[in-house]
Amino acid sequence: MKTISLIIISIFLSVSCLAQSNPMLRGSFLAKVGNKNHLWLFVDGYSSHIEFEKDTYIRTWGGPFKLSEDGISIKVEYDDASQEAIGKEKIMQIQIKENKIIHEGIVYQREKINDQALDGLWRITGRMNENKMSEITYGDRKTIKILIDGYFQWIAINPVEKGFYGTGGGKYTFKDNLYQENILFFSRDNSRVGAQLEFKGEIKDLKWHHSGNSSKGDPIYEIWTLEKRLNKKANQ
């Protein structure tokens, strides 16, 4: 009986140590260096880093990540400042302390926790064209949208061809089927910064139905699906 108890304690301690060395990393982390904002988003095992100033977009890069005792490794799916980095694993030494991430002397402070029903990593799977909903097939080219703690970012990419086609993001709210965006950065047109947009948002059958008018004023109706559900289906 004593031997069994010691084994149970040993297993418990091993699991505890593993959990401590691989902490859950989720949230929005922001650092300011001079006039530059460094926004780092983590959700559903995916990471995105964005650099922007008040009215100027600078750069973004990201991809799936894993934590280890040595720091963080990110399989880069997009990097609009270094195409050569795409497809490679980027290993970074970081420290996670309370609500902070420290990397190369830069301190990223976690933004206020603001859980909302849309938080997650989404991928567009349907779009209305000429009053008909068209399915977007699962392929190399994709548009994903990260939502976490009141921040959002969409990215249009093709990791296989190292293609990057644009990004935008900022802050969002989702309440009573009303989805609102406040744009903080937009790679294609800095003049979009400051725009506030409203959409109808509704979750049906675990899919996000998104409709309204785009920043250009064009009507849109899109369907988004959680990336982790698509990956699970693709691997079955």
- pLDDT for 164 equals 98
CATH of 24-110, one of 2.40.50.100, 3.40.190.10, 3.10.20.310, 2.40.128.50: 2.40.128.50
The answer to whether the beta carbons of residues 159 and 86 sit under 8 Å apart is yes
Amino acid identity at 145: K
Please tell me the predicted confidence (pLDDT) of residue 162: 97
- Determine contact, residues 151/171, Cβ cutoff 8 Å: yes
Please state the pTM of the whole predicted model. Answer: 0.87
| Residue intervals in the chain for CATH 2.40.128.490 | 120-234
Q: What is the pLDDT of residue 14?
A: 36
Cβ–Cβ under 8 Å, residues 192 and 184: no
pLDDT at 234: 52
Residues in the chain with pLDDT values less than 70: 1-23, 231-236
Predicted pLDDT of residue 21 = 38
Q: What is the pLDDT of residues 53-79, one digit of tens each?
A: 999 999 999 999 999 887 999 999 999
Supply the pLDDT for residue 130.
86
120-234: which CATH topology? Lipocalin (2.40.128)
- Residue 88 pLDDT: 97
At residue 149, the pLDDT reads: 97
Kindly report, as residue ranges, where domains of CATH 2.40.128.50 are found in the chain.
24-110
